Amino acid sequence: MTSDLIRRNATPLAQETLADTPITVISGARQVGKTTLMQQLVRDRDARVVSLDDTIDREAAEADPDGFAAQYRQGLLAIDEIQRVPALLTALKAAVDRDRRPGRFIVTGSADLLSLRGAQESLAGRAQTIPLEGLSRDELSGRSADFATFAWSLPTTGTPDDRSDLTRRDYLELVTTPTFPEIVDRTARQRDRWLSNYTQRVVSKDSSDITGIYHPDRLEPLLNVIAARNAGEFVAARIGRELDIPERSIPTYLRALESVFLVRSVPGWSKNIASGAISRPKVAITDTGLAAHLTGVEVDGLEREISSTLTGGLVEGFVTGELAKQSTWSAKSTRVSHFRGRGGYEVDLILEDRRRDIVGIEVKTTTSPRSPDFNGLTFLRDLLGDRFITGVVLHTGTASRSFGDRLWALPISTLWDH
């Protein structure tokens, strides 16, 4: 299956948004398929598509933002890479305030629009954002999975009967394979060259142009440190010492990398229930194939050091990424965080719904989970009572097993098989 035939699971949500909202924003890193999705959405509509990567369109938008936004009033105006001209956000607001009919604009952005240098408008109340990441495992299989909904149903449905056919090495292959649509079908050597050029372009130009930070040369070393400690807690003081960068500057550089969707932060969870919970975020490279490229590792090395922090962090980052992708189309609205208490109890990922009920997830590289792997989940279950819905240890083995009251061990592939 070639990447251009893969249906994106965010498509139905984007179609709904076009039907009821004046501005639809497709937001995500460069080369994750935003332009392709936009073109598919406008294919059967009366639409005009312009790209601000094209010099003539960009200069026209800069010279007359209001006039640019007012073009093609009879149909849908689709603007690709809107972060190139931040002043257009204000022009779009003014155009929508004059005519609020749904489906007036669809825009793509390779940066967080709230972080744009020179942007003075958030489009609050006028736009809905569809986050888009690299291809998910269920998209590559032609399916639409919803692990969050499945996890909330586990206490009722019980242990799944299905077994996984994937081996631990298979999982490591998935973890180290980039999910950018353009390179899905390329060789490993071609992917490495593409990723090197991609990183240089986004880090050295896009992130500094968008945020206007000083010392953009510090971004790549920070990105490499994050990759080496993928899904680890982010301690600014420690990283500052390692890179010889003032601690106070580290959060600014982290936000610059987040603004172009190269990294993601998972906040600490407490809700004032677990006394002494540590609230430092975990930070990971958004695409674990890119993280593996940055650290120079491959499957054989990860398999030899299966218990290493690097291997564990890449596998946890992979799971986090799959959950983040599914959150766009999941029927269950959740927030993702992690938990670490001063008593030594940890849970890799917490999914919390609007009722403040939670599902806890531990990610293990082992093929045979054991009772100690559930210590953090057991602590939260006993602490939260009925608010604790399910605790899951995702592992690289093949079997699904119950481990007691609301606790299950499941293969990682359960993420995209349900």
Q: What is the residue-wise DSSP string for 225-290?
A: HHHHTTTEE--HHHHHHHHT--GGGHHHHHHHHHHTTSEEEE-B--TTTSTTB--PPEEEESSHHH
Question: At 131, phi and psi to the nearest 5?
Answer: -75, 140
Within 10 angstroms of residue 193's Cβ, the number of other Cβ atoms is: 12
Rounded distance between C-alpha atoms, residue 31 and residue 138, angstroms: 19
- Which stretches of the chain score pLDDT less than 50? 1-3, 274
pLDDT score recorded for residue 214: 73
pLDDT score recorded for residue 217: 87
Q: How far is CA 78 from CA 1, 25, 48, 106, 306, in A?
A: 28, 10, 6, 5, 47
pLDDT score recorded for residue 276: 59
pLDDT score recorded for residue 213: 80
Closest to 151 (Cα-Cα) out of 399, 391, 339, 341: 391
- pTM score of the predicted model: 0.94
Amino acid sitting at position 302 = L
388-395/358-363 β-pairing: parallel
Q: Which residues pair with 347 in a beta bridge?
A: 339
Whether the Cβ atoms of residue 410 and residue 396 lie closer than 8 Å to each other: no
Q: How far is CA 120 from CA 32, 85, 92, in A?
A: 26, 12, 12
The structural domains of the chain, ordered by start, are: 3-131 (3.40.50.300), 137-417 (no CATH)
Rounded distance between C-alpha atoms, residue 186 and residue 179, angstroms: 11
Closest to 403 (Cα-Cα) out of 383, 366, 376, 378: 378
Rounded distance between C-alpha atoms, residue 43 and residue 120, angstroms: 31
DSSP state of 116: -
Cα torsion through 412, 414, 415, 418, rounded to 10:
180
282-285/388-395 β-pairing: unpaired
